[in-house]
Amino acid sequence: MFRGIDEVDWASLRHAHGSAEDVPGLLRGLASADPAERETALDGMYGAVHHQGDVYDSTLACVPFLLALAVREEVRDRAGVVELLVSIGGIEGGSGAGELAARARAAVRAGAEVFVRLSGDADAGVRRAAAGALVRFLDRPARVLALLRERIGVERDDGVLIALAEALGVFAQRYRTAGDAHADEAVRLLAELSGPPYGPGLRLAALGRLAACAPERLPADLVPVVVRLLRDRSGQRARSGPASDCPGTDTLAGRLRRLRPSDEEGSQLLRTLHSALGGRVADRVALLCGQLTSPDTLDRCNAVWMSAGLFREWRAGHEEPVTLIGNQLGEEEDRLHDAAVAVLVELFELARPAADPLHTLVAYRPELRIRHRERGAPTLGGPLKALARTGDARATPVLAEVLAGPVVPHDLGLVVPLLGRAAAPLAPALRRRLAQVPPDEPGIRDRAVPLLSALTALDDAESLPAVLRLLRGMPEELPGRDAVTGAAVRALGAFGGAAREAIPDLRGLLETGCAVAAADALWSVTGDADAVLSVLLRESGDPASGPHRRAAAADVLGRLGPAARPGLPGLRRMTGSGDASERVAAACALWRTADESDEVLPVLRSAWAEHPRTRTTIAGCVADLGPAGAPLHDLLRAELASPRRHVVAPGGHGLHADLRLLRVCREALTGPGRRTTR
């Protein structure tokens, strides 16, 4: 199986970490009798030869040897080798895309007969991995369909049957789009597999694939059917006993395997169905609720994790699932409890239906209030962070206790703005903590910026001495100094006229990289537009400033009102900028300053449609203009009526941005509105 391996000039080939001269050792390791050596070798293949899904010239050189390994019955763990081949041959993107990716697909496709042989292998794991390869790499649809039908007829392993149903679904989708008649037969087979007498796992797999390729073939009572099948499947799993939970080897592949859901197959079955249902939000919510009320903790854990995808993408139907996720917080199963906390932290105000169990958790389990990490500074514990992010006032006294303790999480200040005025009692403690931050501390950014952000949100003018102490005391070369300076300047601007003592400091920053923020704060403190106009004109018109600074300068100009008229020519030029944020800031400034609605409305409408991330800025402008913003009210109403979020991102960031957009849209349409013309 390694014939010719020493004839390859591996040293001249490359992988992710440089020379591929170590690859022959990895290939031989895949055939080792030692399980740890085999897994280490597979780890190395994914970590270097197929790093993050990329292909290299060394990857191409490996394909013949991997194909040879896959068919040798004496080689253990061949399923992993087959999965690696399928991944190499199926790559579509990444830095290895293009000619190398095409050659990789061709190389694996040239060996496709290997997968035909492996589809009947004695090893069920190999058969399962080979099922998808039949669809991906064999060309003739009639032959592929015949092979799948044949294997379904003789297969007795539930896991392999599920893989065959998944492959059948991929086949149906691919050839239905092309109008091939073989797809209709594949759909008929899937419909047959979705009903009795087949087992619950296979039926769930078939239903998930039908939802993707032929939703018209789904049963009318889909959700009750799926929930019943899920419970039947869980009952079977319980009767068969718990899966092995051996620690395995300490390799990347081993660690990734241990991070997978305990019931990875069940997770994938339901995730496939949710994905295929797409915008059928009512069905997906009902299905999630069925999953979250399952007697089986693994079913509920899987449901908690997949609920996050629904919440990130769709705006409706969250209340009942969130309530049920909150109910998991009292479970003793750590994996389920941790999953519920992790998802609720992402949801911000959408987690309010779970506020009661979150409060119970932080009130009676103080050890969960702070998360101590092996590396890095301590952070807020998930339950307390989730409660504070909902805006629930009950988080305030708990945060006060944390602030009074010996260890204060560096991110505590970041949740204070989300509590609004309910966080006002925290101001004295936040003020004291800020006063204790050494101005020359190397880690000042992580400690000071959250505290400054919190005090800014609270308009706490009494913290002025502590803010000025930092602003004046930081050494020029201190790492993180610019970020702290910016946060301090924003705080001074929030304090307004109460920060007159800071006027010399702000004037001194007008010739620095913090010029726009300093000008904004100086105008807020003094109300003197003339004192900042020249700086804003300079920053908004300087090509070297960068689009972010120019947009920020334009935004401040717009809020100066009529005093900003000298900047109108520059703002008009900016509306033609190639940067969307700069274009929108200039258009909003023109509308506020000179009421040039005829000129700016097309700019704003275009940006709204083409650059969703600018929508909050545009909606804020409309809100500030009050009745004068009516020409864009149709966009805001359409936004509020849209069921889908436009910015989807992990970690809750996209969801939080979307919630803010909706809030600003509502304020613009229902609030009193006013021009900001100080």
Alpha-carbon separation of residue 561 from 202, 554, 595, 602 (angstroms): 66, 12, 10, 22
Cβ contact 193:165 at 8 Å: yes
110 Cβ contact list (under 8 Å, min separation 6): none
CA triple 95-579-346, angle to 5 deg: 65
- Using DSSP's 3-state secondary structure scheme, residue 380 falls into strand
pLDDT of residue 177: 77
Phi, psi of 252 (to 5 degrees): -60, -45
Neighbours of 194 (CB within 10 A): 24
243 Cβ contact list (under 8 Å, min separation 6): 262
Q: To the nearest 10°, the Cα dihedral for 53, 58, 64, 69?
A: -70
Range 628-632 contact pairs with CB under 8 angstroms and sequence separation of 24 or more: 628/595, 628/597, 628/673, 628/675, 629/668, 629/673, 631/597, 631/601, 632/601, 632/604, 632/605, 632/608
Burial (0-12, 13-18, 19+ Cβ within 10 Å), 423: buried
Alpha-carbon separation of residue 556 from 263, 322, 656 (angstroms): 54, 40, 24
Radius of gyration of the chain (CA): 30
Q: Which residue has the tokens 């050659």?
A: 103
Question: What is the Cα–Cα distance from 481 to 475, expressed in whole angstroms?
Answer: 8
Cβ contact 470:484 at 8 Å: yes
Q: Which residue has the tokens 């800031």?
A: 585
Cβ contact 274:317 at 8 Å: no
pLDDT of residue 263: 83
- Residue 379 is classified by DSSP as E
626 Cβ contact list (under 8 Å, min separation 6): 672, 673, 674, 675
Token pair in block for residue 360:
């119970």
Phi, psi of 616 (to 5 degrees): -65, -40
Q: Which residues of the chain have pLDDT under 70?
A: 91-97, 241-262, 648-652, 672-678
Question: What is the Cα–Cα distance from 618 to 624, expressed in whole angstroms?
Answer: 10
Neighbours of 509 (CB within 10 A): 23
> Strands 14-15 and 18-19: what pairing?
antiparallel
Cβ contact 225:210 at 8 Å: no
SS (H, E, C) 189-214: HHHHHCCCCCCHHHHHHHHHHHHHHC
pLDDT of residue 376: 78
Neighbours of 454 (CB within 10 A): 27
Question: What is the Cα–Cα distance from 125 to 136, expressed in whole angstroms?
Answer: 18
pLDDT of residue 208: 97
Question: What is the Cα–Cα distance from 23 to 49, expressed in whole angstroms?
Answer: 8
Range 642-648 contact pairs with CB under 8 angstroms and sequence separation of 24 or more: 642/315, 643/279, 643/281, 643/314, 643/315, 643/316, 644/279, 644/313, 644/314, 644/315, 645/312, 645/313, 645/314, 645/315, 646/612, 646/615, 647/612, 647/613, 648/312, 648/313
pLDDT of residue 247: 44
Tell which residue, 591, 470, 563, 560, has the closest CA to residue 574: 591
Cβ contact 615:585 at 8 Å: no
Question: What is the Cα–Cα distance from 615 to 607, expressed in whole angstroms?
Answer: 8
Alpha-carbon separation of residue 571 from 530, 536, 541, 591 (angstroms): 18, 11, 8, 10
The DSSP element (H or E) to which 18 belongs, if any, is strand 18-19
Phi, psi of 507 (to 5 degrees): -60, -35
Question: What is the Cα–Cα distance from 423 to 416, expressed in whole angstroms?
Answer: 6
pLDDT in tens, 121-161: 999 999 999 999 999 999 899 999 999 999 999 999 999 99
Amino acid at position 100, single letter: L
Question: What is the Cα–Cα distance from 641 to 669, expressed in whole angstroms?
Answer: 13
Neighbours of 575 (CB within 10 A): 23
